[in-house]
Structure 1
Amino acid sequence: MNTLAAVMQLFVAAAFVSIPVVRHRFGPAAKAAAEAELRRQNVRPEVLEENNLRFDAGGHETAAPVAVAAVMTAIAAVNFAGAAPAQVMTWIFSSLVLLMNAVIVYSNLVAVRSVEAAFRRKEDPELARVEVKPFLQAAEDAFPRWVRAQTYLRNTVVFGGSTVALVAVTLM
């Protein structure tokens, strides 16, 4: 059962690494599309840079998923080794990954509202004029269609893999 848990943890790690890989590859196109939408809305595209708004894999968009992947890989190694703390570590970190991924999915579902709120908090009059829904849609449309399927697959792997890992270590 440790091996099954470890394999699932490696799948979860790979799923998290896919986030910055996709953003790195297609983020510049998303930024260009978002800037074009801003121009259409008569908003200066430079407002993105001025407010540190990004579509690439910089900052926490890379650090957070890579950190999760590193932790899950380390726990997979503990499971492969059959070490005593494997069960407790899996219970703690796989549960945290389930919760984090639920928050990620929720934040994606309410992205328009949360970006509108974030723009209001910035107190930048130019950001306040942005029609957020078409702005975000333009950025999303710049990603290839397969990225949406990859997102669903990633979420399935994270939720399913974490759940299988938890069940596997419980049955040890």
Structure 2
Amino acid sequence: MTVAAIAQLLIALAFVSIPLVRHRYGAAAKAAAEAELNRQGVRPGVLAEHGMRFDAGGHETWAPLSIALAMTGLAVLNLAGNPWGQTLTWIGQVLVVLVNIVILYSNLTAAKGVEAAFAKTGDPELARIDAGRFLAAAEGAFPRWVMPYLQNSRHAIVFGGSILVFIALLAA
């Protein structure tokens, strides 16, 4: 189960990268997004009014860190040879794969999701925002290595590492 534990620790690191990058570059992304909204004629402060963030606040921190802690805990159990490690890994690893599928889907459909969220507010100013340009401006504020390289590497580590974990479980 050492292979599974190593894969789980790599998965934990992949999830920790999310709030770290957002903490470091989120303010620049917010400024770029607000500048784009200004170009589109949207009033200042609309992001804050609707709770939109690009930093590591809220669920952008607690969710990935919770997953990282869970993966680390499972890795410790597996390294210790605790039989609960295997049982809990089956459950936890499946949940991590499912969560990452949701994250991947959200990444691929971000513009549509933002447009739908803006439309739901009933605020006509938000409904007319070009979400694609808005998101492109925010993403452009992150260093080139973040998107697509870190983002794709993180998905590869989570999916590939999970496959290794499942193989290790089946071989145990």
Per the alignment, residue 101 of structure 2 pairs with 102
Runs of 4+ in 1 over 2 A off after TM superposition: none
Which amino acid is the alignment partner of residue 32 of structure 1?
A: A
Structure-1 residue corresponding to 2:156: 156
Question: Within 5 A, what are the aligned runs for 1:51-130?
Answer: 51-130=50-129
Residue equivalent to 1:134: 133
8 A Cα contact 1:87 1:170, kept in partner = no
Sequence identity (%): 57
1:69 is displaced (CA, Å) by 0.3
In structure 1, give the amino acid aligned to 2:117: A
Q: Please give the secondary structure, in 2, of the residue aligned with 1:85.
A: helix
Q: Distance in 2 between matches of 1:27 and 1:108?
A: 16
The aligned amino acid for 2:64 is P
Output the CA distance in 2 between the equivalents of 1:50 and 1:125: 14
Number of paired residues?
171
One-letter amino acid matched to 1:151: Q
Taking structure 1 as the reference length, what is the TM-score of the superposition? Answer: 0.97
Unaligned runs of 5+ in 1: none
For 2:171, the equivalent position in structure 1 comes to 171
Q: Tell me by how many angstroms 1:129 deviates.
A: 2.0
SS of alignment partner, residue 42 of structure 1: coil
2:46 is aligned to: 47
- One-letter code of the match for 2:114? V
Asked whether the equivalents of residues 94 and 163 of structure 1 are also in contact (C-alpha less than 8 Å), the reply is: no
CA distance in 2: counterparts of 1:123 and 1:63, whole angstroms: 29
Counterparts of 2:83 and 2:14 in 1: how far apart (Å)?
A: 26
Deviation at 1:43, TM superposition (A): 0.5
Alpha-carbon distance, 1:85 to partner? 1.3
Out of 61-70 and 120-129, give the one that drifted further.
120-129
Shift of 1:166: 1.3
CA deviation vs aligned residue, 1:6-37 (integer Å, no higher than 9, x gap): 01000000000000000111110000000000
* Amino acid in the other structure paired with 1:121: K
Q: Could you give the per-residue CA deviations for residues 102-141 of structure 1, whole angstroms, max 9, x where no partner exists?
A: 1110111111111100001111222112111100100011
Give the distance between the partners of 2:120 and 2:29, measured in 1 at CA: 23
TM-score (structure 2 length as normaliser): 0.97
